[in-house]
Structure 1
C-alpha cells in the first residue's frame, strides 16, 4: 500500500506522455548546447588552440608551463592572419583563461599574473584591429577583381568555339598580379565581309596599356563591320591611334580576314609572325612579304602595310600570339620555343592544343608570366567555305576594288614540307 506524500496531499502519477515530453525537452536542450559549443569551436582558430595545447602539455609534463605563458600571446597574433575579429577575440579569451589557470595553479604573484594578462589583452586588441584591416583589404581586392572581370568581358569578349568555317580557341594571361586584363588584345567578329580578327600587343603595361587596348578594340569592331577592305580597317585604327597616342607609343598587331574561300587575308603591322600548322603537322612562320611599322608609327616611317593572302586548306590551323609567349624565359634565361611546343601538342581540337601549350608555358617560366600573353588558334573545318555575304544596299566600288588589287602582295603559294 502506497505511502501518502509528506505534505499530506495526494499527487496523481506522472502520465507517460509527460515523461516523453521531458525527455524530448532534455534532448533538445542537449542539442542546443552541442550546437552552441560547435559554433564556438568553429569560430576558434586552430593555431591558437595548438599553441595553448602545447603550453598546457609542457606544464603537465615538467611543471614549467608558467615559464611559457608569454608564448600564449602568439595565439591571437596568429589568428589575425586568417580569422575574423570574432575568432581573434576567442583566441585571446582562450589564451587569457589558460594563463589565469596556470598562474593560479602555480601560485604566481598577482602582480606578475596581471602583467601577463595585460600583455595578452594588448596583443589581442592589436590583432583584432589587424584582422579587421585585413578583412577590409580583402573586400576591396574582391571588388577590384570583380571590376577587372567586368572590364575583361567588355574588352576581351568571349570568342565562340565555331565561327564560319573555323574552330577557334583563345588563352589569355595578364602579367600584373591579381589582374585579368593587360596590354595584349584580341578580338574576333563575324561581319558581312567575312570573319575578321585581330591580335595585338600594346607598348607598355598597366592602366595606360589597357586604355590603348580598349581604343584599338573599339575601332576594330566598328571598322570590321563598316569597311569591305581589310586594309581600310587597319587604316582606321592607324588614324585613331595617331590622334590619341603619344609620340613613343605604338601597337603591334596582326589583322586577318576571311572573305575568299580557301584563303585568309593577313595584314602584319610589326607583330610576331603567325604560325601556320598544316594538316600533316608541319609548322612554319608566316613572315610578312613587306614589313610594315607598328600601328601608330606610320607617320614616322612613311611605310604602309600590305595585304598577304594565305592559302588555308581544310584541317590547316593558324596560331596568332603575342610577344609574352615567345619571350618567356625559364630559370636559365632560355626562351620558350613556341614552334616546338606547337609541334608537340597540336591536335584537331584547338582548345585542347592551347590548354597544353599554356600549361607548358607556365611550367617553363616557373608558374607565373612576367609579361602579358595571348594565344588565338584558328582551325579550318572540313566543310566547304561559303563566300562572304554582302548586306543589301552596300556595294564595293570599282575604285575600291582596284585600290585593293594594287595593294595586295603576291600570294603565298609555297608550303614547306
Structure 2
C-alpha cells in the first residue's frame, strides 16, 4: 500500500514552504489536542465538579468532601494511572480549598485528605493492572485471530467455476474461533469443499477442527475419489480422537461440468437452490455416521451425485444456524430465509441471512455458526464446459453409489 501511494501522482497545487510548515504545525497541534481529549478523564472530573458545586451551594463542609474520592475511583475504570493521579491531585486541591473555606477542623480535613490519597493510590494501582490485562487480552485476541486465519483461511469470491462466500461466527466471541470448520479449495480433481462441526467447544474442538482441515486439504489434492478423501479423514480421526468424540461433516466435490458429488457424514443436509429459485434439502439416501464413529456403525457412507447447472447454488451450514432460537424458543427457519434473500451474489445472500439470524436470536449467537454458499454462474464459451478433471465421462443423472473400502 505504501509503495502504491509513493508511486502515485499528486495533482494538488504545491503550497509555499511556509504555508506547508504552518499547516504541518497546525495539524500536529490538532493531533495533540485530540490525543489529550481522548486521554482526559472527563467523567471523573465531572463527578469532582458536581461534588464541589454541591458544597459551594450548600456550604455543608464535611458532608460533601468525602465524596471527592469518587473521582479517582471512577478514573481507574476509564483512564490510566496518570489520569487517576491527575484526578486525585485535583480532588485533593479542591478538598483543601473547600475545607478551609467551610472552616472544617484540621484533624477532620486531614482524615478526608488521607482517605483521598489512599483511594487515589489504590485506584492508580488498579488502573495499571487493568491496563496490563487489557494488553494481554489484546495479544491473546491477536494470536487467536491469527490462528483462525491459519485454520479457516479466507475464501476468495471466485474459486474455480464458482462464486463463493463464507460467514462464520464463533460462540466464544472474544476468542473469535470455535469448533466449526470449512474449506473450499481447487484441486486437480475439481473444486472440493467441506463444512463440519466438531463435538464440543473450546480448545479441544479447535484442535480437532485443525486436524480435520489438515487431512482434508492433503487428501483433496491426492485422492481422485471423493470417498477416499472421506476415508482418510475417518482413519485419522479414529487414531486421534477419544471414544466419545466425533465430527459431523459434509464433503462435496465438482469433478466434471454439471455434476456435483456430496458425502454426508451425520451432518445437516445442504440446501440446493435451483436457478428457478426453488430450495431443496439434499438428504442423504444412505445416512452415514459422523466422522470418527464408523467403526461403531459398521458401514460406509454413500456418494450422492446430482446435477448442478448454471445458476444453481448450494448452501452448507452448521447446526449453530438451524438451532438458533428466538425469545419464544422457535428455531431459525433457514430454508425460508434463504428463499427470501437468495440473489446472484453469494456474499450479499449470506450477509442478509446473517443479519436476519442475529435479529432472530436477539443479537448474539450461543453456538458456533458457519455458512458457506457456492453458485455456478453461466459460463462464457463452450470451453468452460470441458471436464475439470481428465478421464471423466459425460454427465450422469443423480445417483447413489456405495463406498469402496479404502483402508
Give me the whole-angstrom Cα distance separating, in 1, the residues matched to 2:277 and 2:56: 71
Partner of 1:336: 332
Partner of 2:388: 388
Please state how far the C-alpha of 1:35 moved relative to its aligned partner: 11
Please state how far the C-alpha of 1:38 moved relative to its aligned partner: 9.3
Q: Deviations over 1:70-107 (max 9, x none)?
A: 11101011111110100011011111111111001111
Please state how far the C-alpha of 1:65 moved relative to its aligned partner: 5.1
Give me the whole-angstrom Cα distance separating, in 2, the residues matched to 1:277 and 1:336: 18
Please state how far the C-alpha of 1:368 moved relative to its aligned partner: 1.0
Aligned match for 1:177, one of 161, 173, 177: 173
Q: Does 1:255 align with 2:251?
A: yes
Aligned match for 1:200, one of 196, 203, 207: 196
Partner of 2:402: 407
Q: Deviations over 1:351-375 (max 9, x none)?
A: 0000010111111111111110000
After the TM superposition, which parts of structure 1 deviate over 3 Å for at least 4 consecutive aligned residues? 34-44
Q: For residue 83 of structure 2, give the secondary structure of its aligned residue in structure 1.
A: helix
Give unpaired runs (5+ residues) of structure 1.
1-33, 397-403, 410-417
Q: How many residues align?
A: 366
Q: Deviations over 1:260-317 (max 9, x none)?
A: 2101100000000000111121111110011000000000011101111111121111
Give me the whole-angstrom Cα distance separating, in 1, the residues matched to 2:281 and 2:300: 22
Partner of 2:237: 241
Contact 1:55 / 1:65 at 8 angstroms: preserved in 2? no
CA distance 1:179–1:39, shift in 2 (3 Å): closer
Look at both structures and tell me which one has the larger radius of gyration over its CA atoms. 1
Partner of 2:105: 109
Partner of 1:264: 260
CA distance 1:90–1:36, shift in 2 (3 Å): farther
Please state how far the C-alpha of 1:179 moved relative to its aligned partner: 1.6
Q: Does 1:356 align with 2:348?
A: no
Partner of 2:10: none
Contact 2:300 / 2:402 at 8 angstroms: preserved in 1? no
Q: Deviations over 1:239-267 (max 9, x none)?
A: 00000000000000000000121011000
Q: Deviations over 1:25-72 (max 9, x none)?
A: xxxxxxxxx999998776441112111211222223232254211111
Q: Deviations over 1:157-191 (max 9, x none)?
A: 11111111110000000001302211100001100
CA distance 1:358–1:99, shift in 2 (3 Å): same
TM-score, with length taken from structure 1: 0.84
Contact 2:198 / 2:246 at 8 angstroms: preserved in 1? yes
Q: For residue 371 of structure 1, give the secondary structure of its aligned residue in structure 2.
A: coil
Contact 2:261 / 2:304 at 8 angstroms: preserved in 1? yes
CA distance 1:336–1:157, shift in 2 (3 Å): same
Give me the whole-angstrom Cα distance separating, in 1, the residues matched to 2:400 and 2:334: 34
Partner of 2:5: none
CA distance 1:293–1:43, shift in 2 (3 Å): closer
In the TM superposition, 1:16-415 aligns within 5 A as 43-64=39-60, 66-383=62-379, 384-390=384-390, 407=402
Give me the whole-angstrom Cα distance separating, in 2, the residues matched to 1:35 and 1:385: 58
Give unpaired runs (5+ residues) of structure 2.
1-29, 393-398
Give me the whole-angstrom Cα distance separating, in 1, the residues matched to 2:72 and 2:194: 54
Give me the whole-angstrom Cα distance separating, in 1, the residues matched to 2:261 and 2:85: 66
Contact 1:183 / 1:202 at 8 angstroms: preserved in 2? yes
TM-score, with length taken from structure 2: 0.86
Contact 2:302 / 2:400 at 8 angstroms: preserved in 1? no
CA distance 1:322–1:39, shift in 2 (3 Å): closer
Contact 1:44 / 1:90 at 8 angstroms: preserved in 2? no
Q: For residue 198 of structure 1, give the secondary structure of its aligned residue in structure 2.
A: strand
Larger mean CA deviation between 157-166 and 191-200 belongs to 157-166
